[in-house]
Copies of this chain bind each other. A is one copy, B any other.
């Protein structure tokens, strides 16, 4: 989080808090109309938002150029600058993302259950929007358009608090989206950038209980932890993935090798990449040399237990390694005595995001999927499949690693609450 505005005085902090609450109140008022908007109205707005991004691409790229120049002048590492940088292709992808959301079904109004009670009351549970959602996120400006689209389709007004390093890009994107929304007759205050880019605005969002219904932090572990610990607004925790692949005694070793390599190396900077490898003791002599060689060939540094250290180039693994989400070409590795040893290791170290077992043994697969308590448990498949797109949700606001409300990839339905609608004819108790 940026702290460049730390010179503000207490009056400044109060000012930002008041502005955030005022923005949330405008969002609340706008959300009432959005909650009643038809799917056709919302889809028209999404198409107009996509169109506006394409039409105003030069403006968006120019604003992004300012952010990139400032980041480079500040000595920001090139990989972070790359996350920040927009191109014609990336703007086109944002627009396409909005059109994709328009093509998805409307979650609002879906009837989850319903029955006629013994006394004749007709009861149904219906999906409704949360109301006002706060998004706190880092670096990538494309999240601004993605989050605005998902929130609008699910009937929620959104307060966007992106990274201060992307403030010019985000402002240009939000301006384009708001004009497009206003042009279709919806209230543009359903999409707002949070006023202020000091940490005070984040604090104000976290204290806006009653004004903001749900807060979703997306970014590094530090950001997420601070929001979870400090917020009085209900939070949906996303993302840290210390994901394990367990190669069972009954594994097909070719499948195991392919899955370990894919899970570790397909994309290292994402939360569903594998960070730890567990191998059944009976396979130590056959599989450990083979998997270490293949991982090293792919450029991966292996941090292993004693058995793994018997292979050339394997570094010793510490507790810090087993507890870590590397997000790099590193993997921790250990030999476990058996299936229950693997489950115990996972219970101790996992962040409960995604765990995979490789086995041809049905009983082992059943036991692993029942006993491992993670958002996703995979059998004979790469951890990389835990993803809203792969699951067919069509859009994803993040991957929840908490157990309350939503767990795993969150699509449009996870951005809703429910209410009970009960109809009678003068019923009393």
* Residues of chain A having any CB pair with chain B under 8 Å: 32, 35-36, 115, 117-118, 121, 123, 125, 128, 130-131, 209, 213-214, 228-229, 232, 234-236, 252, 254-255, 258-259, 261-263, 266, 347, 365, 369-371, 373-382, 384-386, 390-392, 402-405, 407-408, 417-429
> Which chain B residues lie closer than 8 Å to A118 at the CB level?
392
Check A382–B425 contact: CB distance below 8 A. Answer: no
> Which chain B residues lie closer than 8 Å to A404 at the CB level?
130, 213-214, 234, 236, 404-405, 417
Tell which of B35, B130, B365, B385 touches A121, judged by Cβ atoms closer than 8 Å.
B385
Nearest B residue to A259, CB-CB: B428
Check B424–A418 contact: CB distance below 8 A. Answer: no
Check B377–A420 contact: CB distance below 8 A. Answer: yes
Question: What are 7 contact pairs spanning A and B, CB under 8 A?
Answer: A36-B370, A130-B404, A209-B229, A262-B428, A376-B421, A385-B427, A386-B420
Tell which of B121, B405, B417, B429 touches A262, judged by Cβ atoms closer than 8 Å.
B429
Check A426–B131 contact: CB distance below 8 A. Answer: no
Number of copies: 2
> Which chain B residues lie closer than 8 Å to A423 at the CB level?
365, 378-381
Tell which of B117, B266, B365 touches A390, judged by Cβ atoms closer than 8 Å.
B117
Check B131–A378 contact: CB distance below 8 A. Answer: no
Check A377–B131 contact: CB distance below 8 A. Answer: no
**Which 8 pairs between the two chains have the least Cβ-Cβ distance?**
A381-B424, A255-B426, A262-B428, A403-B417, A405-B405, A381-B427, A376-B420, A379-B423
Tell which of B131, B408, B426 touches A259, judged by Cβ atoms closer than 8 Å.
B426
> Which chain B residues lie closer than 8 Å to A391 at the CB level?
117, 123, 420
Known contacts: A379-B424, A426-B255. The answer to whether A403 contacts B32 by CB under 8 A is no
* A411–chain B nearest beta-carbon distance, Å: 11
* A350–chain B nearest beta-carbon distance, Å: 12
Check A376–B429 contact: CB distance below 8 A. Answer: no
Tell which of B130, B392, B419, B424 touches A375, judged by Cβ atoms closer than 8 Å.
B419
Check A428–B35 contact: CB distance below 8 A. Answer: no
A382 vs B427: C-alpha distance in the bound complex, in angstroms? 6
Check A418–B407 contact: CB distance below 8 A. Answer: yes
Nearest B residue to A425, CB-CB: B380
A386 vs B424: C-alpha distance in the bound complex, in angstroms? 13
* A419–chain B nearest beta-carbon distance, Å: 6
17 other A-B residue contacts (CB within 8 Å) besides A254-B426, A390-B429: A36-B370, A117-B390, A117-B392, A121-B385, A123-B392, A131-B373, A214-B403, A214-B404, A252-B426, A259-B426, A365-B423, A375-B420, A377-B421, A378-B422, A380-B424, A384-B428, A404-B404
